Structure 1
Amino acid sequence: MNKHTPRVVTAALAVGSLAALTACSGAGASSSDTFVGMSSPVLAQEGQKYMSEGFAAATQELGWDSQVYDANLSADTQFSNIQTMVDRQASAVAAWALDDGAIAGAYANASASDIPVIGINSAGSNVTTSVWWEVNTCNSGGVVEQLADTFAEAKPGGKIAVVGGPPVPSIVALTQCFVDAATAAGLTIVSQQDNTQDTSAGASALAQDMLSANPEIEGFWTYNDASALGVSSVLTGSGRSIYSPSNRDGLVVTGVNGDASAISAVRSGTLSATVDTDPVCSGWAVAGAMRDAQDGTPPEEYVVASSIVDGATIADYVEPAERTCSLDDLPLVG
């Protein structure tokens, strides 16, 4: 990303009611010549709320009007979100694609109107540039391989269960990335199921079935924190314990997103690890990608650094609302 004089704004300024964010920048009279929009896959998810707040704060600093739309896990709704932005003659649009094919037409309409399209953890035809969480890039030596190594170090040659999620391209790719990394690390995947409900309760039910069929399971990798907590509740409820630096006999259970509940669970020893995706600064990165696309200088991708939060690193964890983000000094990889 181009480096200018850093304009540092504390992320805490971004944290507030999501309803207020969308209402202040929504369908009312515009205070700016520039309107931009973002379609979130599901705003009920904590990380998506933080990303939306970061996006709103960054666009406010740029002097733009903005709105965040909630697709609520519906590809049809997401198509409508993007088309609404196009009809509003947005200066740029962004979306975490739930279905590349389903929104291809809306992306094409944006491109035909010379509107830059920013993919969030997604790419595809007519996408100008993409903003990725590092955990979703599957780079050699990256966070997913590090997670696989965590399992392998805790349970050498261990038998692992994998809980994937809804058939969203980024989730499918992330899950396969871990399966490949785990296999390369000498682990055996004895069971793999998808939590299509995208809830803790759904993951709990899957975990019970997996353990009944494979009582020798030594760990669970899950695609998000809600699933990890659902698995953890089943294990602890059945008298099993969770792996941590102080309890190496427990089952390894990991999630992704760095939700507050998962961070608390790592602290209490009821979750082995989660991945901090830095959602607030990711929202700033989306706005930065929009700015650079309008300037005609966007790189192919922006990768926001992720980190593993476990029993060894939890003492260094900084809450999202206490982080500092800047449009010109973002936590990018590479």
Structure 2
Amino acid sequence: MAVVSATATACGPSATPAGGGSGGGKHATIGLVLPQGDKYFQGIQEGLEAAAHKDGNTVVVVNTNNDASTEATQVQNLVQRGVSAIVMQPATASAGSIATMKSIGAAKIPLICFGNCTDDAASKNIVKGVVQSDNTALGTGTGQEAAKYIKEKLGGKAVIGLLNCDSFEVCKLRKAGFKQALSAAGVRVTYAADQEGFLADKASPIATNMLSSNKSINMLWSANEGGTLGEIAAVQNSGRAIPVFGTDISDQLAQDLLNGNNILQATTGQDAGKTAAKAYEQAVRAIAGQANAPFSVGVPGITYTRSNPDSVNTYLGK
């Protein structure tokens, strides 16, 4: 079901943005296409709405539930509504989503891709701009905290077990960033295991087996939320005092940072607010017929740590 989230008056594709809230033209209507409704995408919606409403513009939000067919229908509804621009994270990397994105251009509506934008989804022939998390930086942020921990509590060296999601290109970048941060810090590191595990229920037994077969492991890292949750559960089951460093942020991971079990030490999550703000800026320029330069923007993440509970509580809205 499409969720309309707007308070300003909507208008057709010829609308122009109000320009910093200063008026002087018709208001713009921006379609926001989300693949799901978790807290990160709620943050995207809130950020885009805040920026648009400041300018007197309107946001119309639809959710595709990660389904390419639903996505095609929802996008067609936005096209028929006559939105001024569309900001979209593709539901899939399949030809279906690309065909839907091309249909937006065929309707002469500017399209900004955010989030999962690779290959054709990031092509200048299809979109007017790209905004997504700097996935290398997501790994680097946590890696820097892990390096501090190794220096301060592990005598400058560590044996690390990794859970990856290398079947996705972004996860390879996260892992590379994590390793780069440790290398730059000059700590001595051995990677004892590097296994795929990114769904929490499957990651937990994988991490448990990793710990039982590699008794020398004294630190764990994961490339995503599911893997991080799996590692936390594995450490709890092992009874060993092994620190976990992760990627992504959610209410559950935030609570784990505040938990007195001292397992999760740090995790770096995507910055929904800045991603939304940058996507809105690109949409406004595209509506005005201006080229986006740079065409592609990488947004660093936010690192949350056990040692700074205030930032964790802020994330939780406390």
TM-score, with normalisation over the residues of structure 2?
A: 0.73
Aligned to 2:304: 309
Cα distance in 2 between the residues matched to 1:309 and 1:55? 23
What RMSD in Å do the two structures reach over aligned CA positions?
Answer: 3.5
Aligned to 1:270: 263
Could you give the per-residue CA deviations for residues 108-145 of structure 1, whole angstroms, max 9, x where no partner exists?
222233322212132522222122224x2x2xxx4523
Cα distance in 1 between the residues matched to 2:82 and 2:169? 28
Larger Rg: 2
Residue 114 of structure 1: SS of its match in structure 2?
coil
Cα distance in 1 between the residues matched to 2:218 and 2:196? 19
| Structure-2 change in CA distance of 1:116 and 1:191 (3 Å) | farther
Aligned to 1:291: 284
Aligned to 1:3: none
**Do the aligned residues in 2 keep the contact of 1:36 with 1:85 (CA within 8 Å)?**
no
| Structure-2 change in CA distance of 1:99 and 1:208 (3 Å) | same
Give yes or no for the alignment of 1:115 onto 2:109: yes
Cα distance in 1 between the residues matched to 2:170 and 2:88? 12
Cα distance in 1 between the residues matched to 2:171 and 2:94? 16
Aligned to 1:245: none
Aligned to 2:3: 22
**Which residue, 190, 193, 215 being the options, matches 1:191?**
193
| Structure-2 change in CA distance of 1:312 and 1:320 (3 Å) | closer
Could you give the per-residue CA deviations for residues 272-330 of structure 1, whole angstroms, max 9, x where no partner exists?
1011433234323322221122121522233434232213333455625879xxxxxxx
Could you give the per-residue CA deviations for residues 137-188 of structure 1, whole angstroms, max 9, x where no partner exists?
x2xxx45234324334415443323223485543454345445655776533
Q: Which protein, 1 or 2, shows the higher relative CO under an 8 Å CA cutoff with sep ≥ 6? A: 1
Aligned to 2:34: 40
Could you give the per-residue CA deviations for residues 197-230 of structure 1, whole angstroms, max 9, x where no partner exists?
x4x3233233223223333322222233343233
| Structure-2 change in CA distance of 1:223 and 1:80 (3 Å) | farther
Matches within 5 A, 1:77-226: 77-97=70-90, 99-102=92-95, 103-121=97-115, 122-123=117-118, 124-125=122-123, 126-134=126-134, 136=135, 138=136, 142-153=137-148, 154=150, 156-165=156-165, 167-178=167-178, 187-195=189-197, 198=199, 200-226=200-226
**Do the aligned residues in 2 keep the contact of 1:278 with 1:320 (CA within 8 Å)?**
no
**Do the aligned residues in 2 keep the contact of 1:32 with 1:63 (CA within 8 Å)?**
no
**Do the aligned residues in 2 keep the contact of 1:274 with 1:309 (CA within 8 Å)?**
yes
Structure 1: tracts of 5 or more residues without a match:
1-18, 242-250, 324-334
Residue 86 of structure 2: SS of its match in structure 1?
strand
Could you give the per-residue CA deviations for residues 213-255 of structure 1, whole angstroms, max 9, x where no partner exists?
33332222223334323321221232123xxxxxxxxx23122
Cα distance in 1 between the residues matched to 2:142 and 2:300? 15
Residue 54 of structure 1: SS of its match in structure 2?
helix
TM-score, with normalisation over the residues of structure 1?
A: 0.70
Aligned to 2:243: 252
Cα distance in 1 between the residues matched to 2:228 and 2:168? 18
| Structure-2 change in CA distance of 1:318 and 1:301 (3 Å) | farther
Cα distance in 2 between the residues matched to 1:280 and 1:83? 27
Matches within 5 A, 1:2-13: none
Q: Which amino acid aligns with 2:292?
A: P
